Chain A
Amino acid sequence: MSAAGARIGVITFPGSLDDGDARRAVRRAGASDVALWHGDADLHGVDAVIVPGGFSYGDYLRCGAIAKFAPVMTEVVRAAGQGMPVLGVCNGFQVLCEAGLLPGVLTRNSGLHYVCRDQWLRVDNNTSTWTTRYEPGAELLIPIKHGEGRYVAEDPVLDRLEGDGRVLFRYVDGNPNGSRRDIAGITDERGRVAGLMPHPEHAVDPLTGPTDDGLGMFLSALDTLVAA
Chain B
Amino acid sequence: MARVVVDVMPKQEILDPQGQAVANALPRQGFEGISEVRQGKRFELEVDDDVDDDTLARIAENFLANPVIEDWAVRRVGS
Scan A95-112; emit 1 where CB is below 8 A from any B CB, else 0. 000100000110111111
Tell me if B64 and A107 are in contact (CB < 8 A). no
B14 touches A61 (CB 8 A): no
Measured between beta carbons, the chain A residues less than 8 angstroms from B17 are: 108-112, 178
A62 CB, min distance to chain B CBs, angstroms: 6
Instruction: Judge whether B68 and A178 touch: CB under 8 Å.
Output: no
Which of B's residues lie within 8 Å of A, judged by CB?
14-15, 17-18, 21, 63-64, 66, 68-69
CB-CB < 8 A to B15: which residues of A? Answer: 107, 110, 150, 152, 178
A104 & B64 in contact (Cβ 8 Å cutoff): no
Bound CA span A62–B43, Å? 13
- Answer whether residue A154 sits at the interface, using C-beta atoms and an 8 A cutoff: yes
Instruction: Give the interface of A toward B (CB within 8 A).
Output: 61-62, 65, 98, 104-105, 107-112, 150, 152-154, 178
- In-complex Cβ contact of B68 among A61, A105, A110 (8 A): A105
Q: Taking A61-B64, A105-B68, A112-B18 as given, write out 10 further A-B residue pairs in contact, using a Cβ cutoff of 8 Å, ordered by the A residue number.
A: A105-B69, A107-B69, A110-B17, A111-B17, A112-B17, A112-B21, A150-B15, A152-B14, A152-B69, A153-B68
30 CB < 8 A contacts A-B: A61-B63, A61-B64, A62-B66, A65-B63, A65-B66, A98-B66, A104-B68, A105-B66, A105-B68, A105-B69, A107-B14, A107-B69, A108-B17, A108-B18, A109-B17, A110-B15, A110-B17, A111-B17, A112-B17, A112-B18, A112-B21, A150-B15, A152-B14, A152-B15, A152-B68, A152-B69, A153-B68, A154-B68, A178-B15, A178-B17
Question: Which residues does chain B contribute within 8 Å of A112, judged by CB atoms?
Answer: 17-18, 21
Question: How far apart are B69's CB and chain A's nearest CB, in angstroms?
Answer: 5
Q: Which residues from chain B contact A105 at a C-beta distance below 8 Å?
A: 66, 68-69
Complex formed: what's the CA distance from A104 to B66 in Å? 10
The residue among A104, A107, A109 with the most chain B CB atoms within 10 A of its own CB is A107
In the assembled complex, the Cα of A40 lies from the Cα of B15 at a distance in Å of: 37
Task: Report the bound CA distance from A147 to B69 in whole Å.
Answer: 17
A204→B15 CA distance, assembly (Å)? 35
